[in-house]
Amino acid sequence: MNSRIIRDSLPADASAPAANDALPSAAPTVDLGDNRLYIHRELSQLQFNIRVLDQALDERTPLLERLKFLLIFSRNMDEFFEIRVAGLKGQVALDHELIGPDGISPRRALAEISEIAHKQIERQYAILNERILPELVAHGIRIVRRTQWTHKQKLWVRRYFREEVAPLITPIGLDPTHPFPLLVNKSLNFIVRLDGVDAFGRDSGLAIVPAPRVLPRLIRLPQEICEGGDNYVLLSSMIHAHAEELFPGMQVLGCYQFRLTRNADLTLDPEDVEDLALALRGELYSRRFGDAVRLEVADNCPRDLADYLLKQFGLAESELYEVNGPVNLARLFRIASEAGYPQLQYPPFTPVLPKALKHVEDLFQVISKQDVLLLHPYESFSPVVDLLRQAAKDPQVLAIKQTLYRTNANSEIVDALVDAARAGKEVTAVVELRARFDEESNLTLASRLQQAGAMVIYGVVGIKTHAKLMLIQRREGSELVRYAHMGTGNYHTGNARLYTDYSLLTSDEALCEDVHKLFSQLTGMGKVLRMKKLLHAPFTLKKALLELIARETAHAAAGKPAQIIIKVNALTEPKVIRALYKASIAGVQIDLIVRGVCCLRPGMEGVSENIRVRSIIGRFLEHSRVYWFANDGDPQMYLSSADLMERNLDRRVESAFPIEGKKLQQRVHNALGLYLADNTSASLLQADGQYLRPPVAKGEPARDVQAELLEKLCGTVGARG
């Protein structure tokens, strides 16, 4: 790829940079619209999935954790096909192809995705069969294949099949009165070739056997019929071995597993929705039967049967994936999560409390005197829960307002809100029903809160509420005092042990007033309210970020040191990318820590030589969002719920809150420095869109940011084990 993209499309006399597309007058003119400067969003997403799969080969990681990474790749690919590939196919089908800044059409993107996905899925099964499973066997963990069953195991499996499996199976013979059944998204099924005539004289020769969805896909064999260790049998193996029992008097000539992936995106037209909850319940049912996007079959399935299935689902040959193993690897998570093998898992750790919160009974008293910043999962999420619990019981607390994006109906957070509502406090919950794949859980928790007497708001139709905010109003003497929690992650105690996120607990009057205004905008109606400190999408966040980048650009153009560090999950917004390119051209040093999708190309001569992009994948999911600007010696920093994507900045309610005070700023900045020094978990984005591990000089110590933070904050050595 030619990395030099210089054009005469922008005026040479461009004035000082601002939030528009102007460049410093001294800079060369550059065509920032050249599609070679941008990486296709879905292809970048696929590269992220590949980086996850790569972790399964990293022998520094404990074996069961490597298995988890391999299975997470399966889950990621499922969602990739259900949402991203389905969206591209929909554009092609409707002859409405949208071409982004990268210039790649959906049709071409689908072809490239198919080529890459086929290679990586084949690689995934090779890693499983040639590396992971043999190593598991060496540690006494086995998936026992049919050909390996002992006589005792065969008898046990037959009894289990007849008592637990067969009564729940409904075989479906295919003939004119039994057309091909409508199969649920991602369900396990078998196509069976038969010989013979049944009791009614039918001899179609084919049948479909849907595996019961209520049964586990992995069954543990009893210890007494095994020779030590942990031994499992796949449900698919049981059905294969006893398929003839499902078709009495018929001969089974072949039985082959397959799985269909469907479009699982929800489509709600805001103009046609009168009751969002009711409409969403209907959409959730239809998600199970969306248009087909991918067919997975066992690699021993005869070609004529695979072609038959493709025809039934209206899929092309390029959408067929022949796999050497179970068609749904995610079902193996049971093995990866089994206790009893500490040497094969990450070492345990205990999240700590910061010094200011140790042995504290009254959180309000502490937060009234100082801001408290928490870095999860190294520091405990319990202060956030405890603050809400204390507020629920405190007679001086009058009102609680909270956004809920991803949590669950029985979470400690929801329990506390229910307790507060039952205690007579004014509880308002802004529940985002459309949090993808958590819609059903959010409907349940919304009902539970309503039954307790809380006011439940579903946000704004057409705009998801993604901000993470809690506001508590408390009577203290003759005054009403506000306390707030703002975070980069969800109110989900489970995720707080797995995701890296920041939490800020504060009683800052201006910041709490801003949070109050944002809740007022969500629950009521009126014009945009002016904020003092908080940046919020879809109104001020993008504009402010562009201005902050432009200010750094102006500093560089004036010969001053200029630097930007941004940590997000994804970077796709074209205007932000253009602003970063202009900053790079002006001489701003830019470090981007982007876990997932990144559509910016670093290292392009004349454009992005001053931009470096790295992705960190490790024990914890990197989820925090940080924006840091050097600002000519007076650093400015925001933490946020928002990634730098069009949807976050233009079509979501998001918040970015400032971190003020040198001590807290320095703490976050030091952590960013650890991310930039990581040479173990990091991958560096190249100009061609590929990711490479950073070179480590001889004698250079290994640096792992998550391990260092664990050791520094929790006293636990090593994130890798």
- The whole-number average pLDDT for the span 297-310 is 96
Residue 353 binned pLDDT confidence (cut-offs 50, 70, 90): very high
Contact 281, 443 (CB under 8 A): yes
Which structure tokens are listed for 503? 């939490």
Residue 336 binned pLDDT confidence (cut-offs 50, 70, 90): confident
Contact 30, 585 (CB under 8 A): yes
Q: Which pTM does this prediction carry? A: 0.90
Q: How far is CA 198 from the centre of its chain?
A: 49
Task: Give per-residue pLDDT as tens, 233-262.
Answer: 999 999 999 999 999 988 999 999 999 999
Q: What is the pLDDT of residue 27?
A: 45
Phi first, then psi, for residue 516 (nearest 5°) are -60, -45
**How far is the first Cα of the chain from the last one, in angstroms, to the nearest whole number?**
40
40 a catalytic residue: no
Task: Give per-residue pLDDT as tens, 126-181.
Answer: 999 999 999 999 999 999 999 999 999 999 999 999 999 999 999 998 876 678 88
Q: What is the pLDDT of residue 409?
A: 60
Per-residue buried b or exposed e for 54-80, using 16+ beta carbons within 10 Å of the residue's own CB: bbbeeeebbbbbbbbbbbbbbebbbbb
d(CA 599, CA 588): 19
d(CA 24, CA 498): 43
Q: What is the pLDDT of residue 148?
A: 94
pLDDT of residue 2 exceeding 80: no
Q: What is the pLDDT of residue 196?
A: 80
pLDDT of residue 419 exceeding 80: yes
In order of 66, 385, 434, 640, 692, the CA distances from 466 in angstroms are 31, 19, 10, 10, 32
Q: What is the pLDDT of residue 159?
A: 97
Non-local (6+) Cβ contacts of 299 within 8 A are 322, 323, 324
Task: Give per-residue pLDDT as tens, 30-71.
Answer: 899 999 999 999 999 999 999 999 999 999 999 999 999 999
Q: What is the pLDDT of residue 30?
A: 84
> Which of 305-314, 353-362, 502-511, 609-618 bottoms out in mean pLDDT, i.e. has the lowest?
353-362
What domains lie within the chain, and their CATH numbers?
85-344 (3.30.1840.10), 355-532 (3.30.870.10), 536-714 (3.30.870.10)
Q: What is the largest CA-CA distance in the chain?
A: 89
- The length of the chain is 721
> Which of 271-285, 321-335, 366-380, 625-639 bottoms out in mean pLDDT, i.e. has the lowest?
271-285
d(CA 575, CA 573): 6
Looking at residue 502, its amino acid is Y
d(CA 519, CA 512): 11
Which structure tokens are listed for 584? 């790079």
d(CA 276, CA 294): 30
- What is the rounded (10 degree) CA torsion for 233, 236, 240, 245? 90
Among 481, 482, 505, CA closest to 385: 505
Contact 442, 465 (CB under 8 A): no
Phi first, then psi, for residue 451 (nearest 5°) are -65, -25
Half-sphere exposure of 599 (CA within 13 A, CB side): 23
Looking at residue 356, its amino acid is A
Catalytic residue (choose from 242, 466, 536, 555): 466
Query: CA Rg, the chain, in Å?
Result: 28
Looking at residue 457, its amino acid is I
